[in-house]
Structure 1
Amino acid sequence: MKKYMLGLGCGLLLAGSSVAIASDTIQALLFPASFEINGSQVKMDSDYQILNVDGHAYVPIRFVAENLGATIDYDAESQKIVVKNKPLDIKDPDYAKISVGNLILTKAGNQTKVTGQLEFEGVGNSLNMVGAGLSFYNEDNQKIGEAVISGNNFGVDPQTFVTKGEGDFKNYDAVYLHIGAINHRIMIDAPTMLYRNSSYRFTLAIPSSWEEKYEVVEQKDEESERNNFLFINQANKAFGGVIFSISIWSKGDWLATGATTKGIGQVYKLGEDADHVFLLFPPGDVEYNPNDEKLTAEFHAMVDQISEIRTSFKFE
């Protein structure tokens, strides 16, 4: 894959060259050129070559993508080259300074290959050990795969990692990060407390840090006959304060309108029993006091815990 070449269509006219093109082959000339990327001279590995094809420069896309800070991989099943270069937005809510993102998943035999990036903010160097796990879930809130991240060269600049997990979980719906170790120090999971819903016999693991900071309000929609349980941040209650809500729908209701609902906004299926479908809705509006930094921070810190709460859903 390292030598896989793809023309970027740079449109650089190269004088003094000629190319003969057949129906399914090309003839190319080596084109000696150096690279300056974002103001810095970058030396290209000797394994790579730049080609002149019909007056256009064809450069190694992996070399360019990685030097622009992106992840890249080739999906043989779809015959597609995938490049990702977005902000890293996957976090363990207990360790907010470590971020993961730009994940590319491809099939590797009976495994799934995961290429991504990890960034460790607030450290003084780029030689930090991080041990972590990625858990992948389908749209029915079932875990379908896991992959381990381990390395000693993580720091303030995003570093690319490659790992694999058993099975096929390319088409995941949600992914969660769990930090297990930092610089060879084992991280202890944050304590939780159990929320039990006796009406519908399900439980959630709520962070212990929420103690005396939240309340649950039950609302019934008489028209749709849906029951809703609103988890509210008490400090922001005057502004709504809804961190998330769990809505219980009939199976018929979900089959009839679920697809439309998912197309409108975020909704996560938690599970289902014989008669009902259990859904989690994140906050859909500003539910906190935007003029109070402390209250804003408290609300967002609680919202960041939704992913772990979601995966803790169980029937009794």
Structure 2
Amino acid sequence: MKKFVMGAIVGASLSLGASVLASNFPEVSFFPVKYIFNSVEKQLPEEYASLNYNGHAYVPIRFIAENTKMNIGYDDNAKEIIVNYGENGQPAAPVQLSEQVQPVASARLPYQALRGTFTYGNVVVTKEGSNSRVSFQLDNDIPDNEIGGNLTLYDSKANPLGNAVINHTFKAGISTYETVIPGDATNYKYVALGIGKSGGALLDRTTHPSTAEIENNAIKIIESKKVPANKIANLGDKILNVSRIISSMKLTDKEAAELVDNITSN
């Protein structure tokens, strides 16, 4: 029991005294869970365990740290668990770009917000009763920037599952935004972030394109990914959704083809 408790709370290579375990740790139960890092499942080593206490999950911090590029240590004299991340006091880029849909060397986060210069990523959607809790990270260069918009979540066929409305003042750098939306959106595959307000003011739309112009522009975006004309014609009312996803997530030609095939196949 001592081995598993240490693994679940502070990591197996950190050593806590037996008296601490005996006096401070309540009864807990083990439960099987999967660990997903940036959409990649990682197996929990045998020396670690996940615990359930009073409805809360307690996870092995060393395992989490090793898979999120953090550095962890335990000071037995001071009884301190120390977590270091980033360089020179700056937060580390919270994802490995190689695990994103499309690596972008010049961006700290992999996706591009529509109608804005912001990048975003690390989208996490979890079930909460009959609702879904949505969180993501936004990279913002303007201090105390009041931003408005919405994050739309889509399934594998570009059907919208829900919109996370954003109306928040973000600090400069990478910040996490979290909200709850109605319904179950946990089976999402694609996202698109649209920004309509920055600096507390609505973004200026100097031109007002017609519906035909909007659709023609969407078709050009899809065509740029070498999608055949006959498949584009079969997208129907999904054309705008597909173009939004391609633009926002920077899909490769192969990924765009997969999306279109999912929609047009029987």
What TM-score do you get using the length of structure 1 for normalisation? 0.44
Contact 1:135-1:146 at 8 Å conserved across structures? yes
- Aligned equivalents of 1:164 and 1:205: distance in 2? 34
Alignment of 1:1-316 (within 5 A): 6-14=8-16, 19=21, 32-33=79-80, 35=82, 37-38=84-85, 87-95=108-116, 97-121=117-141, 123=142, 126-155=143-172, 157-188=173-204, 191-192=208-209, 204-206=215-217, 231=223, 242-248=224-230, 265-266=254-255, 267-269=258-260, 277=264
Contact 1:192-1:206 at 8 Å conserved across structures? no
Say which SS state the counterpart of residue 227 (structure 2) adopts.
strand
RMSD over aligned Cα, in angstroms? 4.7
Contact 2:147-2:166 at 8 Å conserved across structures? yes
Contact 2:86-2:92 at 8 Å conserved across structures? no
Contact 1:194-1:204 at 8 Å conserved across structures? yes
What TM-score do you get using the length of structure 2 for normalisation? 0.51
Q: How many residues are aligned here? A: 178
Sort the Cα spacing of 1:102 and 1:8 in 2 relative to 1 into closer, same or farther, 3 A. Answer: farther
- Aligned equivalents of 1:191 and 1:204: distance in 2? 13
| Larger relative contact order (Cα-Cα within 8 Å, sequence gap ≥ 6) | 2
Contact 2:145-2:200 at 8 Å conserved across structures? no
Structure 2: 5+ residue runs without aligned partners? 1-6, 31-50, 52-75, 96-106, 235-252
Sort the Cα spacing of 1:118 and 1:12 in 2 relative to 1 into closer, same or farther, 3 A. Answer: same
Structure 1 residue runs of 4 or more that deviate by more than 4 Å after TM superposition = 14-26, 67-71, 188-196
Structure 1: 5+ residue runs without aligned partners? 43-66, 72-85, 197-202, 217-229, 232-241, 252-263, 279-316
- CA displacement, residues 70-107 of structure 1 (integer Å, 9 cap, x when unaligned): 59xxxxxxxxxxxxxx9522222431x31221111011
**Paired amino acid for 2:84:** I
Contact 1:117-1:161 at 8 Å conserved across structures? yes
Sort the Cα spacing of 1:19 and 1:30 in 2 relative to 1 into closer, same or farther, 3 A. Answer: farther
Say which SS state the counterpart of residue 9 (structure 1) adopts.
coil
- CA displacement, residues 131-165 of structure 1 (integer Å, 9 cap, x when unaligned): 1201111222221211012211332x111111122
- Aligned equivalents of 2:174 and 2:10: distance in 1? 24
Sort the Cα spacing of 1:168 and 1:34 in 2 relative to 1 into closer, same or farther, 3 A. Answer: closer
Structure with the bigger percentage of strand: 1
- CA displacement, residues 216-241 of structure 1 (integer Å, 9 cap, x when unaligned): 9xxxxxxxxxxxxx83xxxxxxxxxx
Structure with the bigger percentage of helix: 2
State the Cα distance separating 1:247 from its structure 2 match. 5.0
Say which SS state the counterpart of residue 101 (structure 1) adopts.
strand
Aligned residues with identical type, % of pairs: 19
**Paired amino acid for 2:152:** S
